[in-house]
Structure 1
Amino acid sequence: MKVTVVGSGISGKSLALMAKRMNFDVFVTEQGKLDENTKTLFREKDIQWEEGGHTKALLDCDLVVLSSGISDKTLPVQMARKTGTPLQGELDFIFPYLSGKIVGVTGTNGKSTTAALINHLLSKMGYNVALAGNFGIPLANFAMMPLDFIVVELSSFQLHWTKRFSCDVAIITNIYPDHLDWHGSFEAYVSAKRRIIELLSPKGCLVCRAQDEEILQVREGRVARLYWSFEKFMHDAERVQDELVLNDSEALLRTEGGHIRLFPLKSLSLFGYHNVENAAMAMAAIYYLGCEVERAREFLPYFKNLPHRCEKVGEKDGVVFIDDSKGTNVASSVTAIASIPGVKVVILGGRGKGEKYDKLAGVIKKHVRAAVLLGEEKEVIAKSLRSAGFSNFYLAASMKEAVYKAFEMACPGDIVLLSPACTSWDMYRNYHERGKDFQEIVKNLIEACVVKNGRESN
């Protein structure tokens, strides 16, 4: 059988190598250029390719397989549809070759942290588990591997194409507008996320927030809805659905069989109430997988958050610095600002995604002492802040200027939070690079003697 893989990035390369291992005749088509290492690898594996554009050669196959991020608008998809050549997303192509129970984690924000935490807990409990997704390890790498569990971070791009990939436990962390340029509308984005529910295994379980169930059109099956204790929730003995209930001290899972204490909040090493939600969903997944919640609880305090996701960098003169460079959309930054306790000086800006900043401005007015704006979007954000009646902000020309100015504007006990609400592509290659730059500048500031409010800060 001949397959054409569209794209030669991390997931595309992994798909091509996996298909070759399964004895497919493989052809890769790439709009850009292949690097020399990839070409050498493809030659060694007898994988054919084309680069610098797509030709009719890609149609000489039985199936076109789409790597992560390939949209309906791309030429290979249009060519395949025009000729009737079958199309398949990467998840569906890989699914028949996977073993073990599958935990799928999706959502607008928090999916990487939640997936990594589930992997951490299962690994510490001694299970043979794999973590795949936006961690540099594509799912195709784990095909035909004997595993107890596979934890997969799933993007809306991947789910858009999914028709058969099925999870035993599905988690939707939250739903906010994102990737509207790719999907075309918020409705289409939600529809893609909803695929994880529609394709649950017959005995599968869903974990989501109560406030998202209407937009996700949650209807039947076993569902754990997450509530904070101040919200209205079901509590009658005959209820069908489970409840994941959080308060200021602990997380509980309420089932027909009784209450299960998941963890006390003080045991978490993560910043922010949004991470309490992530941890609660992760522990609910442990329960639904049939694993021991009490054992898993022991390992919660030892989980270190992923880089650039509300990561504490350091402290100087009572001011704490937190790196949330992964906050690349408005919803993510709003969550970080509102959920991390304390007064904040926030660093915002970068390249925008076409979002409005009205909600962000409202949260800043409520929770933030001052803001420092940088990047292409700083004037747009400044306009929204002025409209909301917030004027204590400063426009910086570089990350270094932004960090030093934020420290100057902060008071002892405050938090300087980098949570840009924008992509990094105007100044950096990715959010990792932006976060690393922020951290390096903060570390230099901590070691330096800085004049703050007219006095030297050591």
Structure 2
Amino acid sequence: MEKYNDILIIGLGVSGKAAVTALSKLKIKVYAYDDNIKNISQIPEDISNLGIDFLFSPEMVMDKKFKLVMKSPGINPNHILIQNLKNAGAKIISDLELGYKYKGDEKLICITGTNGKTTTTVLVNDILNSGGISSNAVGNIGVGAVFELINTTKDFLVIECSSFQLDDVDLFKPNISVIMNITSDHLDYHGTTENYKNAKLNILKNLNKKDYAVLNFDDKNLKELRGDYNKIFISTLEKIESGVYLYDGKIFISEKGVSTEYLDTKDIYIKGVHNYYNIMASIAVAEILKLDREIVKETIQNFQGVPHRLQFVRLHNGVSYYNDSKGTNSDSTMKAIASFDNPLIIFLGGYDKKEDFTELLNMGKDKIKAILAIGQTKDQVVNKALELGYKNIYEIDNLEEGINIASKISQTGDVVLLSPACASWGMFKNFEERGNKFIQLVEELK
């Protein structure tokens, strides 16, 4: 595996900082560039004493004639500096590829998909640790992957992989890959749905006969995949011959056509079909690793989900408030809506990722009582909702205004749901900050 004497890290968010911190301990000359750092005084304090050379302009970057560049996941591939570096012959890689390049062949369980990957990553990590296998959950979940890939002492790393990260991998190869689903998302970044899908499928590109892929049988993008690796399918729609499936409210494991009941969904805390997919994928990973089934079942039964994903916040005046700030695309928000039978007052809108709200609003017509349209896409939400015959639509400038309206128009039995179907950028740093603000406002209701 080719290694380099110097490397440029572009972007100093979570992934970039993890990369420079890890690489500074190796015998590699590390350079860093960030559009928002124009001079020494703007260098973040937590990475200012690592012996890194900071470059403060694109011209300084191009003068160095770099051969290897790590692009932080959130930086658009069409960024002019990235294009110039490519044209000058630099190899552009992601943090996953970089960590793998300098560590390689560690035991990796990598999980991707449009929706469900965070919950599945956390649950798989819990199952491994409960089952006696030490592991850390890292990656798109908010923990920089490079540092952990290079420095881990754990038996396994469970990595949540975004399409941004997988778009720039070359040799990266997990031992177990999980793809939850693929629906259109991040078109502002990838340009087309096909590009987005291909980025996700890069998680499989280097697998061999010793490796495993856990795939959603109900997803047309995944059902017919071909590859020289072991496939385990999950399904809520069909009794599959080999894999994990849901039937009549129970989860079964099937091996060569012989099915064994594994778990009753009545005994699971997190509800909704989307969560049953997450659980089945986790069970499939546990089966690959031959973990004790009773320990796995107990871990699943005790699992209460992850923050910002259909997170119950409070019951106030007979109204339930739920934080689903991680609902950053229409498919995710539709799954959230499907989890409730109660009338919904829903926050929709945010950063414009070229999302089409038609399917979501059609699907939600019988459940959505009122819409609180917010953010860059609020006009699109309002226009589409009016076109489809919605009546109770409120344009709001911030969450405070929305909570105030929701508390006035809601009635006993209603659900107030933050599931915006959009990213948070422009109003908030990330979906966690948006969700935490929602929680704070709900908790302050008198």
TM-score using structure 2 length: 0.89
Aligned to 2:70: 65
For 2:414, the equivalent position in structure 1 comes to 414
Q: CA deviation at 1:299?
A: 1.4
Residues 323 and 316 of structure 1: is their aligned pair in 2 closer, same or farther, counting only changes over 3 Å? same
Equivalent residue letter for 1:227: S
Which residue type is aligned with residue 349 of structure 1? G
Structural mapping, 1:96-245, within 5 Å: 96=101, 97=103, 100-142=106-148, 143-214=150-221, 218-220=225-227, 221-228=229-236, 231-235=237-241, 242-245=242-245
SS in 2 for 1:259: strand
The 1:146/1:388 distance shift into structure 2, 3 A limit, reads: same
Shift of 1:62: 4.5
Distance (whole Å) between structure 2 residues aligned to residue 305 and residue 216 of structure 1:
27
Q: Is the 8 A contact 2:216 2:223 kept in 1?
A: no
The C-alpha deviation readout for 1:420-449, integer Å capped at 9, x for no partner, is 11233343333222222221222222xx2x
Query: Residues 72-105 of structure 1, C-alpha deviation per residue, up to 9 Å, x if partnerless?
Result: 3234433333333334332222114156421111
Structure 1 position 323, deviation (Å):
0.5
Q: Deviations over 1:3-58 (max 9, x none)?
A: 22222222122222322322112222332207858566656332212124353556
What amino acid sits opposite 1:390 in the alignment?
A: Y
The aligned residue for residue 30 of structure 2 is 26
Change (3 A) 1:147 1:84: same
Indicate if the aligned counterparts of 2:239 and 2:247 stay in contact, CA closer than 8 A: no
2:291 matched to which residue of 1? Answer: 291
Q: CA RMSD in A?
A: 2.6
* Structure 2 unaligned regions, length at least 5: none
Deviation, structure 1 residue 352: 2.8
Deviation at 1:185, TM superposition (A): 0.7
Which one-letter code corresponds to 1:123 in the other structure? N
Q: Which amino acid aligns with 1:13?
A: K
Q: Distance in 1 between matches of 2:380 and 2:55?
A: 42
Q: 1:295 to 1:56 in 2, by over 3 A?
A: closer
Matched with 1:451 is none
Distance 1:65 1:438, change over 3 A: closer
SS of residue paired to 1:369: strand
Q: Distance in 2 between matches of 1:289 and 1:262?
A: 16
Aligned to 1:277: 277
Corresponding position of 2:351? 351
Matches within 5 A, 1:360-439: 360-439=360-439
CA distance in 2, matches of 1:88, 1:246: 39
Residue by residue over 1:191-210, the C-alpha shift from the partner in whole angstroms, topping out at 9 and shown as x without a partner, is: 10011122224322222222
**Amino acid paired to 2:162:** S
1:337 matched to which residue of 2?
337
Q: How far 1:178 moved relative to its partner?
A: 1.1
TM-score (norm 1): 0.87
The residue type paired with residue 133 of structure 2 is Y
Give the stretch that moved more between structures: 390-399 or 21-30. Answer: 390-399
Q: Which residue of 2 aligns with 1:78?
A: 83
Check the 8 A contact 1:252/1:260 in 2, yes or no: yes
Counterpart of 2:400, as a letter, is K
Say whether the 8 Å CA contact 1:4–1:59 is kept in structure 2. Answer: no
Report the more deviating stretch, 378-387 or 79-88: 79-88
Preserved contact between residue 323 and residue 419 of structure 2 (Cα < 8 Å): yes
3-state DSSP class of the match of 1:365?
coil
Segments of 5+ residues of structure 1 without an aligned counterpart are 236-241, 449-458
Q: Which amino acid aligns with 2:231?
A: V
* Structure 1 residues 353-373: Cα deviation after superposition (integer angstroms, max 9, x where no partner): 222211111112133233333
3-state SS of 2:118 partner = helix
Work out whether residues 215 and 223 of structure 2, in 8 Å CA contact, stay in contact via their aligned partners in 1. no
Over the matched positions of the two proteins, sequence identity in percent amounts to: 28
Number of residue equivalences: 438
